[in-house]
Amino acid sequence: MKKTLYWIPRVLGILFILFISLFALDVFDAHTPFIKALAGFFIHLIPAYLLIIILVIAWKKELFGGMLYILMGIVFLFIIRFNLQTLIISAPPFLIGALFLASHFINKQR
Tell me the pLDDT tens digit for each residue of 33-63. Answer: 889 989 999 999 999 999 999 999 999 999 9
Q: What is the mean pLDDT of the chain?
A: 91
pLDDT for 55: 97
Q: For the residues 76-81, what does the mean pLDDT come to?
A: 83
What is the per-residue pLDDT for 77?
Answer: 86
Neighbours of 50 (CB within 10 A): 15
Q: What share of the chain has pLDDT > 70, as a percent? A: 99
Quick one: pLDDT at residue 85?
A: 78
* Residues in CB range of 65: below 8 A, 6 or more apart: 54, 55, 57, 58, 59, 97, 100
CA 92 – CA 76 distance, rounded (Å): 10
